Structure 1
Amino acid sequence: MTVDKQAPGSGSIMVVGGGISGLTTALEAAEVGYEVFIIEKNPYLGGRVAQLNQYFPKLCPPTCGLEINFRRIKDNPNIKVFTLAEVEKVSGNPGNYTVDVKLSPRYVNSNCTCCGECGKACETEVPNDFNFGMDRIKGAYLPHEMAFPARYVISPRIIGTEDAKKVKAACKYDAVELDMEAKTISLSVGSVVWATGWEPYDANRIDNLGFGRYPNIVTNMMIERLAAPNGPTKGKILRPSDDKAPESIAFVQCAGSRDENHLPYCSYICCMASLKQATYVRALYPDAKIYIFYIDIRSPGQRYEKFYNMVKADENVFFIKGKVAEVSEDPDTRNITVVAENAVTGEKIHQTVDMVVLATGMQPTAANIKLPADLKYNADGFIINDFEKGGMFGTGCAAKPFDVTSANQHATGTALKAIQTLVNK
């Protein structure tokens, strides 16, 4: 592709990551005339927001914001979306990059109508990553009902099996291609925005909090999926060991955060996430008791402070200022006892509850897998932007912990920086 670097409205931008920050960056650039490539490793766009039950500031479901963005993408010829795609290599300089992108096979082409016949024909079940493995789905599946692109996916686990042949035979539209192979394409772009997002910190690494040992200890993202109407329990928050409606839940704040052995920083969103999830439980179970163990509550801004005060006024929600030291399980009831020292009274507390929710922190994806480009990172894996050099930028939670509103604002600014690279080089 030949790019005129001087003319405004020319050139192209690559956005790596199709979560809320990536979508915002792409749309802001495309809607002022720039060609944009979105590169997303999952078979769908939407990122972590798609996995939420509700999100601030309006506590609306993901459909509320993502649906509009998906429509804008479909209507904009400047945007080209590549899913099941990962950047392998970036070479060149600001204004003139060549990016090698690996495309993994979906085994389903654009003829797909989402009729679902392939899923009905498939007998094999695979873990459902969208629900953090809390349930299983067919080997031919739609990631979730709002998935964009709206197209089924066939798991590589069934390729080469008799089940795969049944899936292909069930498709009336010739949409199943079992012989699809991975391929690499090269794209010429003027700037690259890394919107690679975040991952929940691995709770298995926090030895004293029992995750993985006791089934009734879940993470904040897991309870988000339990509360979601399209989650593994269709919106019912049930404890995993016996599908019982919990009468009491403890939220453990800073699970692995603000801890030099894990994540030394505050993830910004965890306190508000737990307060929000407490309202999920109270709406479902009016008599349930909620215990929130915290170091300090961080509710930045007037709107969040107001929400915090609303939750604090609930007579069935109890705030305990104290870091949880350990947890244990009663093998007969599978109830969990949380042990902490109340920092205000000095009292050692043993609180027994039906379920525990660990407010695990937000870790940038690049902390675990370094990106294949010349980027700078801080000690925690967040991208440090070099605005003087330009060309490549981190945005959203690839750059620092953000809530959805702040991530959108940051992504809008990053889109401008990417455009400036094209205009100035």
Structure 2
Amino acid sequence: MRENIPSGQLSGNILVIGGGIAGLSAALEASEAGYDVYVVERNPYLGGRVAQLYKYFPKLCPPYCGLEILFRRIRTNPKIKFLTMSEVVDVSGSPGNFDVTVRIKPRYVDISKCTACGECAKVCPVERDNDFNYGMDKTKAIYLPHDLAFPMKYVIDDSVCKKDECAKCVSACKYDAIDFSMEEKTINIKAESIIVATGWKPYDATKLTNLGFGKYPNVITNVMMERLASYNGPTKGKIVRPSDGKEPNTIAFVQCAGSRDENHLPYCSAICCLASMKQATYIREQYPDAKVYIFYIDIRAPGRFEDFYATVSEDENIVFVKGKVAKIEEGENGNLIVVAENTLTGEKTRTEVEMVVLATGMQPELSGVNLPIKELKLDSYGFALSSPGIYVAGVAKKPSDVATAVEESTAAALKGIQIAKR
């Protein structure tokens, strides 16, 4: 494990900001070509949002298999080093000679000692919302981020932990891995080029007041559906209604929830239609008699994904309704009424379902934040633009599926090593 980086001035050829699928792909391509790479990741684990998916395109397989291969390559590659719970706070210099300041938050767990035995969590009396599962369940204040977390080490949420007032986890840890004296520290890294792979965040569905998220418990988002379907999710892969745990017989997907809307996200996130169709197959696999409605403005399934759309549309229990949803109301017994207009027939419809999934769009993580890189520019939507010595990869650049993000991260790595000297 190469996360225990000493304080002081460090140097490498390339600095990668973001440890998701795009950042890791770029880092591995550059490091396996012989360049020294540092990866800076804000979360306590690598893998980004891909780790939170149940299945991903194009093979519709669980992402853990692909991520495990990436992690194995990292473990055996001395040219790549990573820092979790870290953020870039300042960048100065020029291509070939960047000076990067990185702030590292304390984990309060010594990763060189932690064996992930879990004894600490058993005695911890404090709970927190599980952000990995989008708040649909709880973890203890000391927790393992997820089943394939890399590094496979526990971390303490200092916003809820009582630390020395409690310290039950300290007594339970036979390896003396918990250290409440850890403090935030700042280090400097010299880099010749920078790859920005900061990824995306789901659009805040609470802003869509007409669609009932946060008001009606059985209205969830597409990212929450991924966690419900996942075997390591809050329901161990069982898709059920949040309000009562009931198996839903009717589910509606609302496309462009906030997307292509001047009041929210004015652009198309490119993959939401495919994601909803994919999730419709999750439901049909678990509940053969379930009815699924997909309310859409336009179906977008470019290139090779057109065949997937054709396959899904042939399912007689998946109904595509062309029309933008005006609002969602609550019916009886926790059911929901989807109010829309079918633009093909002109008919105004009120469809009662037991659960609604909002296809919220992809918003770049850099949108609305104070950028630490003065040379980095954003477009009008908040996506980053490459500049000399600073190259953008993945969804930091534009909405895309995993395969496209990986391809573009390889291109960013190639540009980065053209600046760097081996």
Q: What is the TM-score of this pair, normalised by structure 2?
A: 0.96
2:397 matches 1:396: no
2:149 equivalent to 1:158:
no
SS of residue matched to 1:190? strand
What does residue 229 of structure 2 align with? 227
Match status 1:349 vs 2:349: yes
Q: Counterparts of 1:58-69 in structure 2 under 5 Å?
A: 58-69=59-70
Aligned residue identity for 1:256: G
What do the CA deviations read for 1:307-362 (whole angstroms, capped 9, x no partner)?
Answer: 111110001000000000011002x4110000111010000011000000000000
1:7 maps to which residue?
Answer: none
Matched, 1:187 2:192: no
Q: Please report how far the alpha carbon of residue 368 of structure 1 lies from its aligned counterpart in structure 2 after TM superposition.
A: 2.7
Q: Contact (CA 8 Å) 1:216, 1:355: kept in 2 or not? A: yes
Distance across 1 between alignment mates of 2:368 and 2:334? 33
Any idea what SS the aligned residue of 1:240 has? coil
Q: Tell me by how many angstroms 1:161 deviates.
A: 4.6
Q: Which runs of 5+ in 2 are unaligned?
A: 1-8
Q: Counterpart amino acid of 2:337?
A: T
- Paired letter, 1:168: V
User: By how many angstroms is 1:155 displaced?
Assistant: 1.5
SS in 1 for 2:420: helix
Q: Identical aligned pairs, as a percentage?
A: 59
- The equivalent of 1:333 in structure 2 is 333
Find the aligned partners of 2:306 and 2:10 in 1 and give their Cα distance: 51
Q: Helix, strand or coil for the counterpart of 1:253?
A: strand
- Deviation string, structure 1 residues 60-109 (Cα, Å, up to 9, x no partner): 11211100000000100011110000011001111001111000000111
After superposition, give the CA deviation of every residue in 1:2-33 in whole Å (9 maximum; x if it has no partner).
97xxxxxxx51000100000000000000011
Partners in 2 of 1:355 and 1:405 — Cα distance?
30
Q: Which amino acid aligns with 2:301?
A: S
1:178 positional shift:
1.1
Shift of 1:162: 3.5
Per the alignment, residue 282 of structure 1 pairs with: 284
Deviation for aligned residue 1:210:
0.9
Q: Distance in 1 between matches of 2:235 and 2:321?
A: 29
* 2:228–2:234 Cα contact (<8 Å) kept: yes
Query: Would the aligned equivalents of 1:336 and 1:355 in 2 still touch at CA under 8 Å?
Result: yes
Residues 20-419 of structure 1 aligned to structure 2 (within 5 Å): 20-109=21-110, 110-156=112-158, 157-163=160-166, 165-302=167-304, 304-330=305-331, 332-374=332-374, 375-386=376-387, 390-419=388-417
Q: Structure 1 CA distance, aligned partners of 2:368 and 2:228?
A: 26
Query: What CA distance in whole angstroms lies between the structure 1 residues aligned with 2:386 and 2:47?
Result: 24
Q: Distance in 2 between matches of 1:122 and 1:2?
A: 37
Q: Deviations over 1:354-410 (max 9, x none)?
A: 000000000000113232002111111001112xxx111221100001100000000
Structure-1 residue corresponding to 2:6: none
Q: Deviations over 1:252-306 (max 9, x none)?
A: 000000111111111011000000000000001111000000001000112x111
Q: Determine helix, strand or coil for the equivalent of 1:367.
A: coil
Question: Does the Cα contact within 8 Å between 1:159 and 1:178 map onto a contact in 2?
Answer: no
Do 2:197 and 2:395's aligned partners in 1 also have CA atoms closer than 8 Å? yes
Counterparts of 1:30 and 1:224 in 2: how far apart (Å)?
32
Shift of 1:160: 3.0
Partner of 1:422: 420
Aligned-pair RMSD on alpha carbons? 1.2
Can you give the 5+ residue segments of structure 1 that lack an aligned partner in the other structure?
4-10
Q: Kindly tell me: are residues 227 and 128 of structure 1, through their superposed partners in 2, closer, same or farther at Cα, counting changes over 3 Å?
A: same
SS in structure 2 at match of 1:407: helix
- Residues of 2 paired with 1:421 and 1:370: CA distance? 26
Q: Which residue of 1 aligns with 2:4?
A: none
Q: Return the letter of the residue paired with 1:421.
A: I
Stretches of 4+ aligned residues off by more than 6 angstroms? none
C-alpha deviation, 1:190, in angstroms? 0.5
**Partner SS state of residue 356, structure 1:** strand
**TM-score, normalised by the number of residues in structure 1:** 0.95
Q: Which amino acid aligns with 2:263?
A: N
